[in-house]
Amino acid sequence: MIEVISESKCIACNQCVSVCPTNVFDRVADGIPVIARQSDCQTCFMCELYCPVDALYVAPESESVIGVTESELSEQGLMGGYREKVGWGKGRKPVASHEYMYQLSKRSGF
């Protein structure tokens, strides 16, 4: 489930409010968005992927809140990790075009 919106990183672009398929976030006038309906989160990671400044963290646990903090996540280098792997963001190459996609298909049929 969505666990963290980083106050220090968030630029209040409200992209997460727009893209969340299950409408978990609420806009806040003159502020950063809030997690308003956490239990509606379906753990699809899309908000994290669309966040342009890596300010969000979705924990893999889909049924329960684990209460992880931003500083713990930063220490482990977990903020923004998914977006980097998908290859979204300035100067990155989308993983969709990665040569391993073809190699995998050739060698294993996936």
Partner 1 sequence: MAIQEQAQHLKTDVLVIGGGPAGTWAAVTAAAKGARVVLADKGYCGSSGATAPSGTGVWYVKPDERLREEAKASRYDMGGRLAEHRWMNRVLDRTYANMNQLAGWGYPFPLDDEGNQHRRSLQGPEYMRLMRKVVRKAGVTILDHSPALELLADEHGVGGAAGVNTQTGIPWTVEAGAVVIATGGCAFLSKALGCNVLTGDGYLMAAEAGANLSGMEFSNAYAICPTFSSVTKTAYYSYASFYYEDGTIVEGAGSKRGRSVIARNLMEGRQVYAVLDQAPEHLKPLLRVGQTNFFLPFDRRGIDPFTDPFPITLRLEGTVRGTGGIRLADELCATDVPGLYAAGDAATRELICGGFTGGGSHNAAWAMSSGSFAGEGAAAYVKKLGAHDGSRNLERKSTQPIVEEGKGSVKPSRAAEWVQAVQDEVKPYDRNLFRTGEVMTQSLNRLNGLWNEQREQAIEHTVDGVKAREAAAMTATARWMYTSALARTESRGMHKRSDFAGMDDNQHYRLITGGLDQLWVRPEQVCKEVVVH
**Residues of the shown chain interacting with partner 1 in the complex, contacts defined by CB under 8 A:** 17-23, 40, 42-46, 49-50, 59-63, 78, 81-82, 85-86, 88, 94-108, 110
Residue 109 CB, shortest distance to partner 1, in Å, is 9
Listed in order, strand segments (DSSP E) in the chain are: 2-5, 25-26, 34-35, 56-58
Residue found under tokens 């190459």: 93
Nearer to partner 1, 9 or 45 (CB): 45
Question: Closer CB to partner 1, residue 5 or residue 79?
Answer: 79
Contact by Cβ (8 Å): 69, 76: no
What's the distance, Cα to Cα, between the start and end of the chain in Å?
29
**Residue 83 near residue 51, CB atoms below 8 Å:** yes
Q: How far is the CB of 69 from partner 1 (least distance, A)?
A: 14
| 11 vs 36, beta carbon nearer partner 1 | 36
Q: Which is nearer to partner 1, 5 or 20 (CB)?
A: 20
- Minimal distance in Å, beta carbon 65 to partner 1? 13
Tokens of 99: 């040569």
Closest separation between CB of residue 44 and partner 1, Å?
Answer: 4
Q: Quick check: helix, strand or coil at residue 66? A: coil
